Structure 1
Amino acid sequence: MTGFPDDLGGTPEGPGPEEPLLRQPPGYLAPPPGSFGQIRRRAARRRRLRAAGGGTAAAAVLAGSVYLVGALTPHGTEDRVSPPATGSPTTPAPRTTRPAPPVTTEPRATPGTHGASPPSRPPVTGPSPAKDSPTPSGTPASTGHGSPAPMCAASQLTASLGAPEGAAGSVYRYLLLTNHGATACHLTGYPGVSVLDASGKQIGAPADRRPMDYAPVVLKPGESASDTIRTANHLGTCRPASAKVRVYPPGSRASLVVDGEVTVCDELFTITPLAAGRTGNPPS
């Protein structure tokens, strides 16, 4: 048996009904056991080698650049090579600068003065106090001979009232404080004044202060300071007439009581600051 169709009784169009098939049936060979796992291991090893090689190359390039920058930077200067940026901003250290030397200006000579420079102005030490600014309570005032005068105590003063004088719907009355002590003292500002009935009870509110400038008044033994009490001359509603007047000297907690009749009408009751003399403030 040769296997040719002619020998088996076949025809040229195909084998006969009893002709055996000499061709292997179609199909694919199965891969050897473990081949896929070996392929995956080789691929993972190649990836690791590539990553290691890339990191080593990057580190070498970075080290070489830092070395080149350090080698090319001139030595002996204040500039320093900063490390590579890490992503966080850094603040450069401030440089200290020396202050510029003061510039002095030479005064120029004025023509006609033969080179003489003009006199320099005295240094300004601050605003000078006003002439009418009061001396604080308790601060000694000068007696005019260089010795200070303490504040007058109520125990060394005597109070008295002048006669009332009417003008333009008002009644004015002087209040006098006299130094009966053996040493000089001073008074500054407003006294406290209120009116009392015969039993010593206060009638209404104390006197209001009339805004005026004032200065310390130095009283030698026997000298007086005075101010002016103003009330309405029987206008509007009047309070009962007083039997006494109570006076607190400036800066004192002790009071003086003097007999006197003062009628407060239309709620007008004012007092001026003390001034030198016996004719009130302003002095008449």
Structure 2
Amino acid sequence: MGRASKSPHPTRGRPGRRAALPVTAAALLCVLAACSDGGGPSDPGPTRTPSGTTGGPTTTPPGTAEGTGPAATAGTVTPGTPDTESPVTQSGAAAPRCHTSDLRARLGRPSPGAGQRNFPIVLTNRADRTCTVRGYPGAAFVDADGRQLGPDPRRSPDTPAPVTLAPGASAWAGLTFASPEISGARTALPKELLVTPPDERDPLRIPWTAGEVPVGGNESSVFLTILQPGTGG
């Protein structure tokens, strides 16, 4: 018998050297850029809340206890200055909404302007828990019989943000109108200013002692801003 010939093929089962996988340019770029699971940053969408909390010039009446109350609409003037020392934080933290019964309302210190009257409407948390307000309050001037004087205020085009109120902390919204002596608007003398917190139906009553307000004619619009931290003075 002759000598067995060697097989022309390598022996199976012998471990071979595994070829390294190539690193693609896209993979390297992802490492350097710290890619997110979603493939890129997410864009926050617009938010909308009822009863005076949207950022646009839409009208949503907040109502009153009897179902007939003020409704805020769109404006442009921002009176007053935020109180940076107030123990209020502005954030998206989940906190219970402030109800009318949690708050008390007052007019803050007026801020004079060129031919304008500016008043901060101040809402203070009188409850023993933290709560949140967001957007526009409702506001209306009423006479001694409770009848509304003039149209609803117009809203400023601001973007609402939650204002978290610890017990005793305050938020304010600016109420402003042209001085009737200068504008020549038709006026009336209110008995009270009704203020309805955002998303609520029951109003808070503020005695009005600041004189006549415009209710008709040229330059008679009253403007209202969003709530922001502090007392506006």
TM-score, normalized by length of structure 2? 0.62
Q: Assess, with a 3 A threshold, how the Cα gap between structure 1 residues 256 and 190 changes in structure 2: closer, same or farther.
A: same
Structure 2 residue 130 is the aligned partner of structure 1 residue 221: no
Amino acid in structure 1 at the alignment position of 2:125: N
Q: Assess, with a 3 A threshold, how the Cα gap between structure 1 residues 217 and 137 changes in structure 2: closer, same or farther.
A: farther
Structure 1 residue 118: Cα displacement: 3.5
Measure, in 2, the Cα distance between the counterparts of 1:106 and 1:201.
Answer: 79
- Paired residue for 1:94? none
Which of 38, 63, 68 in structure 2 is aligned with 1:124?
A: 38
Measure, in 2, the Cα distance between the counterparts of 1:137 and 1:186.
Answer: 14
Structure 2 residue 119 is the aligned partner of structure 1 residue 193: no
Q: Identity across aligned pairs (percent)?
A: 30
Deviations 1:47-103 (A, max 9, x none): xxxxxxxxxxxxxxxxxxxxxxxxxxxxxxxxxxxxxxxxxxxxxxxxxxxxxxxxx
Structure 2 gap segments, 5+ residues each: 1-20, 52-88
Structure 1 consecutive aligned stretches of length 4 or more whose deviation exceeds 6 Å: none
Question: Of Structure 1 and Structure 2, which has the larger fraction of its residues in strand?
Answer: 2
SS at match of 2:175: strand
Aligned partners of 1:190 and 1:271 also within 8 Å: yes
Structure 2 residue 156 is the aligned partner of structure 1 residue 242: no
Structure 2 residue 107 is the aligned partner of structure 1 residue 107: no
Question: Of Structure 1 and Structure 2, which has the larger fraction of its residues in helix?
Answer: 1
Structure 1 residue 135: Cα displacement: 7.0
Measure, in 2, the Cα distance between the counterparts of 1:199 and 1:222.
Answer: 32
Measure, in 2, the Cα distance between the counterparts of 1:137 and 1:150.
Answer: 16
Aligned residues: 166
Which of 264, 267, 279 in structure 1 is aligned with 2:213?
A: 264
- Paired residue for 2:73? none
Measure, in 1, the Cα distance between the counterparts of 2:24 and 2:94.
Answer: 47
Q: Assess, with a 3 A threshold, how the Cα gap between structure 1 residues 108 and 175 changes in structure 2: closer, same or farther.
A: same
Structure 2 residue 153 is the aligned partner of structure 1 residue 207: yes
Structure 1 residue 229: Cα displacement: 0.4
Of structures 1 and 2, the larger Rg is shown by: 1
Measure, in 2, the Cα distance between the counterparts of 1:260 and 1:251.
Answer: 24
Aligned partners of 1:135 and 1:188 also within 8 Å: no
Q: Assess, with a 3 A threshold, how the Cα gap between structure 1 residues 108 and 240 changes in structure 2: closer, same or farther.
A: same
- Paired residue for 2:226? 273
What is the CA RMSD across the aligned residues, in angstroms? 3.3
Measure, in 2, the Cα distance between the counterparts of 1:109 and 1:267.
Answer: 65
Structure 1 residue 106: Cα displacement: 5.2
SS at match of 2:101: helix
